[in-house]
Amino acid sequence: MEDSPAKATAVVLLSGGLDSATAAAWARHRGERLAALSFDYGQRHRVELTAAREVAAALGISDHTVMPIDLAAFGGSALVDPGLPVPKGRSDEAIAAGIPVTYVPARNTVFLALALALAETRGAHRIVLGVNAVDYSGYPDCRPEFLAAFAQLANLGTKAGVEGVQFELLAPLVSLSKAEIIQTGLNLGIDYGLTTSCYDPGVDGAACGGCDSCLIRAAGFAAVGIADPRLARFAGPVKDARHADR
């Protein structure tokens, strides 16, 4: 049964990646009626928007907004600036050290602010997101402290909050390893072949296999002991995907 915009109880940030798909499936399993929000923000891996649409359809989420915002106008990240290469082949130690060039300045703050606006419009009181503070690349806006601060902001800065509604940020994956996230999703019946994690994919959506996100994803599937179903969907040379979904 598909979700109805008028009956949404939660807004889920749906990137098309493995984590956000798992968070969305978790929310559906607990009985949330979801409105999904994705962003076309100038990212070089815009093939994730196709994945987000496929995941939303698979989960029966009919209320799915894909919002254009131009974070590429600011630059400052390898995900939106073609002049900055995406790091490849980094060691676990290098991935864990510092904040990488793939960090998009204030991205989750911007995304959550817009998710909050959608939630208030829909009458939903919860925002679901797939951020993770264990197997992640050092992003400061994936930490529990950030989520707690934004929840406080949501309840101070909205009409609904002032009138007594308490907004919640639900981040069910925040303390899980990538392997634990994958196992959770498998238990929920997610087809991970629909999802994409690569920061620098081919024009057909094939993963580069060398960026931090690809390496973290591959290690997660290896730890679970199964092949990544996304890999079976693609063959042939990797091409530039920077404008693939336009």
| Residue whose structure tokens are 């106008």 | 73
pLDDT of residue 95: 87
Instruction: Look at the domain 5-233 and name its fold.
Output: Rossmann fold (3.40.50)
| Total Cβ atoms within 10 A of residue 52 | 29
Residue 202 phi, psi (nearest 5): -75, 170
pLDDT of residue 112: 98
Q: SS3 of 137, please?
A: coil
Domain boundaries, the chain: 5-233
Taking the alpha carbons at both ends of the chain, their separation in whole angstroms is 31
Mean pLDDT of each 10-residue bin along the chain, 246 residues long: 72 97 98 98 95 97 97 96 95 88 95 98 96 78 93 95 94 96 98 96 90 95 96 58 38
- Nearest C-alpha neighbor of 218 from the set 59, 79, 46, 90: 90
Q: Which residues pair with 128 in a beta bridge?
A: 12, 170
Q: What pTM did the predictor assign?
A: 0.90
pLDDT of residue 238: 40
What secondary structure letter does DSSP report for 102?
A: T
| Residue whose structure tokens are 């606006």 | 117
How many angstroms separate the CA atoms of 238 and 225, rounded? 26
